[in-house]
């Protein structure tokens, strides 16, 4: 079985890379969107994936700042010129993210995000079949998104992502569950 996806959406120095949402709080869909020139790719992901992605990228950047003789000039906060509060560009979902990996390329001083799609239910069934040709066809048909962003852009990405994640429904002060715009039935835990 081959490990290389059939189609890689590659953004080495993107003009823009952001997390944004479509829909109202409580029914939002989260997207990771990357753009270079006219090439735009949007992949859907879960709110939790978005939050964890921002957290882990910040951890990488913070660890890099602690490296003795740090040569990468990692900013402690988002450079003002890189703040991006604009809405998503028109979204055409490429795939829904299943596995997301992050890394660091010291040769270019870039954070790397790689996202692979969730397999379809029928592909999961085929992938567990004893016939190796089914596994080979699954690997050949897969795709992935790879985004490489410099450290300043990565800080801006994490700041925006945290703000987008936190902009959801307010939490009930009594039960701690989100309050829906259509109403809220408070579920107070029993002691």
User: pLDDT of 129-160, one tens digit each?
Assistant: 444 433 443 344 489 999 999 999 999 999 99
User: Quick one: pLDDT at residue 154?
Assistant: 97
What integer pLDDT is reported at residue 38 of this predicted model? 95
The 3-class SS string of the chain reads: CCCCCCEEEEECCCCEEEEEEECCCCCCEEEEEEEECCEEEEEEECHHHHHHHHHHHHHHHHHHHHCCCCCCCCCCCCCHHHCCCCCCCCCCEEEEEEEEEEEEECCCCEEEEEEEECCCHHHHHHHCCCCHHHHHHHHHHCEEEEEEEEHHHHHHHHHHHHHHHHCCCCECCCCCCECECCECCCCCCCC
pLDDT(181) > 90: no
Domain residue extents for the chain: 7-123+137-167
Q: What is the pLDDT of residue 19?
A: 98
**pLDDT of 168:** 81
CATH numeric code, 7-123+137-167: 3.30.2450.30
Residue scoring higher pLDDT (184 or 65): 65
51-92 per-position pLDDT tens digit: 999 999 999 999 999 888 777 788 888 889 999 999 999 999
| The pLDDT value given to residue 2 | 44
User: Does residue 97 surpass a pLDDT of 90?
Assistant: yes
In this predicted structure, the answer to whether residue 96 has a pLDDT above a threshold of 90 is yes
3-59 residue pLDDT tens: 566 799 999 999 999 999 999 888 899 999 999 999 999 999 999 999 999 999 999
């Amino acid at each position: 079985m081959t490990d290389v996806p059939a189609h890689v959406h590659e953004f080495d120095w993107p003009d823009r890379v952001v997390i944004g949402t479509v829909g109202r709080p409580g029914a939002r869909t989260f997207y990771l969107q990357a753009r270079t020139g006219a090439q735009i790719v949007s992949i859907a992901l879960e709110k939790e994936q978005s939050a964890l992605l921002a957290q882990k990228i910040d951890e990488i950047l913070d660890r890099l700042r602690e490296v003795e003789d740090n040569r990468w000039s990692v900013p402690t906060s988002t450079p003002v010129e890189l703040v991006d509060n604009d809405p998503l560009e028109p979204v055409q979902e490429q795939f829904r993210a299943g596995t997301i990996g992050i890394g660091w390329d010291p040769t270019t001083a870039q954070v790397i995000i790689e996202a692979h799609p969730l397999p379809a239910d029928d592909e999961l069934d085929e992938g567990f079949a004893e016939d190796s040709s089914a596994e080979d066809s699954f690997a050949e048909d897969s795709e992935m998104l790879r985004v490489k962003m410099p450290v300043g852009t990565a800080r801006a990405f994490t700041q925006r992502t945290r703000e987008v994640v936190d902009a959801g429904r307010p939490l009930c002060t009594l039960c701690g569950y989100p309050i829906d715009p259509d109403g809220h039935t408070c579920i107070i835990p029993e002691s």
